[in-house]
Amino acid sequence: MNKTVKSIILSLLLVAFAAGNLNASPAKKKDPHKGYRFTLFIYGCEDSIMYLGNYYAGATYAFDTAKLSPKGMFVFENKEAQLKPGLYFFVSQSGDYVEFAVYGNEKLDFHFDTEDPGWQNNMRVKGSKENEILFSYHQTNRAIYAQIDSAKRASTDSAAFETFRRNKLMQMDSIKEAYIANNPNSLLALLMNATREPSIPTHDEAGNKLSDRERWNYYMDHFFDYTKLDDDAMIRTPDMIFHQRLVNYLDKSLRNAPAEMVIEYVDKLIEKAKPSKENFRYLVHTIAEKYLQSNIMSYDAVYVHMIKKYVETGMCDWMSPTTIDENVKRANTWEKILIGKPAPPLIMKDINGNFQSLYAQKSKYTLLIFWSPTCGHCKTTIPDLYKRYAKYKDSCDITAYAVLSEPDEETRPKWRDFIEKHGLDWINIDGGEANIDWHEVYDVITTPQIFLLDKDKVILAKKLSAESFEGVIKILEGIE
């Protein structure tokens, strides 16, 4: 049994429904997708169990199973289940599978029949025009691929075979376009259109040549032109159709883009998906979670934006009140310490018991550090950070305000010993007595937390390592 089938079967045991497919509230009016009966007859079938599942974003879920009946059929039936539009599949224990469509207003009473071996390649259907279209297209394609494979085995002239292969691929492209044109409202058309790339112009309407930046802007604005983000079926398609395209859009097309630009484009994307509650939910959740976990220092602004715009305003009614409160609280905290915001004031005692104000430091830059000698990561990061700080502190006018993040009687002696051992002669602050709850205000959950502030104590950088601190200083000061 291959890995994919094992994961599908495991999901059947662990998940009683597929991403919200089943046990939804009954519709007030008659819904053709409420209840289903699928019969699958495979002549000469050697499998005794068949599974029914669907795609959801980047995953697959099995939600029903059927045993081979004495009449040689697999029958999947549930009168109360609410199947939502998308691409579904039958999969056997041996790993053979075939996809089929749930789409449009068809009553979900389909009969499939085929024969072994290769039952997935010879599928016929009654009761579903959608699946007649889908199976016809796949069978046509398979026939052409078979011709290419046969020609390759028989060929003694590689150049002639390559010409034959190109012509056959062009034929397949023509067939694809014909299916889309003849069945524009089918699930097949939705799937094939979704993977189209936008055609990027080289000149504007006035005939002026577009710059690389203008062409990039066009590409980003039109990336999802052929993807029906407002169609509920889009979320139930194979990984490459929607989920992977979203990943590529965020990780490749928007790679290293400023947070403001990321926010602009994800808002445009989500706006297109609003008519589909499921796609809207998926995009908001996926994008917010991605930037919540991001290690890029400025991208916490994207997470804050997502929560403030979509969660705090009540648009995410699928979230529990507790989850909403947790995200809003975190976003409110992060909003105060975003890059470009003034650092919250700190007044605390130093190692000698004298009060030291963060804002009293008059240097060009201030390195604000929260750390503890009991933190394993701090033990390696802090000495390295100090060496780099010492290298630039005079020439670049940098002060360091280093706060003990575990100010208790057990940790303080270790803190003093660590400072002495490594010669940390920056401003060492005992965090036990302070003007604010800095753990909460600065969101110090893990250590070390390292910020770089300008002369006015505006946050220039955060989430720094020792190495990235030096890199930022070099950039700011124009040091080669």
Which domains can be identified in the chain, with CATH numbers? 3-127 (2.60.40.180), 212-335 (no CATH), 347-477 (3.40.30.10)
CA 148 to chain centre: 37
Query: Would strands 109-115 and 34-43 be described as parallel, antiparallel, or unpaired?
Result: parallel
**One pLDDT digit (tens) per residue for the chain, 480 residues:** 444 444 444 343 333 333 334 333 444 455 666 899 999 999 988 889 999 999 999 899 999 999 999 888 999 999 999 999 999 999 998 888 999 999 999 999 999 999 988 888 889 999 999 999 999 999 999 999 999 999 999 998 999 999 999 999 999 999 999 999 999 999 999 999 998 999 999 999 999 999 999 999 999 999 999 999 999 999 999 999 999 999 999 999 999 999 999 999 999 999 999 999 999 999 999 999 999 999 899 999 999 999 999 999 999 999 999 999 999 999 999 999 999 999 999 999 999 999 999 999 999 999 999 999 999 999 999 999 999 999 999 999 999 999 999 999 999 999 999 999 999 999 999 999 999 999 999 999 999 999 999 999 999 999 999 999 999 999 999 998
Please give the pLDDT value at position 221: 93
End-to-end CA distance of the chain: 57
Please give the pLDDT value at position 74: 96
Asked if 228 and 234 touch (Cβ cutoff 8 Å), the reply is yes
CA 412 to chain centre: 42
Please give the pLDDT value at position 58: 81
Neighbours of 385 (CB within 10 A): 26
Residues 6+ apart with CB under 8 A from 445: none
Q: What is the pTM of this model?
A: 0.85
The side-by-side arrangement of strands in the sheet containing 59-67 is 59-67, 49-56, 86-92, 97-102
Asked if 50 and 90 touch (Cβ cutoff 8 Å), the reply is yes
Sign of CA dihedral 207, 209, 214, 218: positive
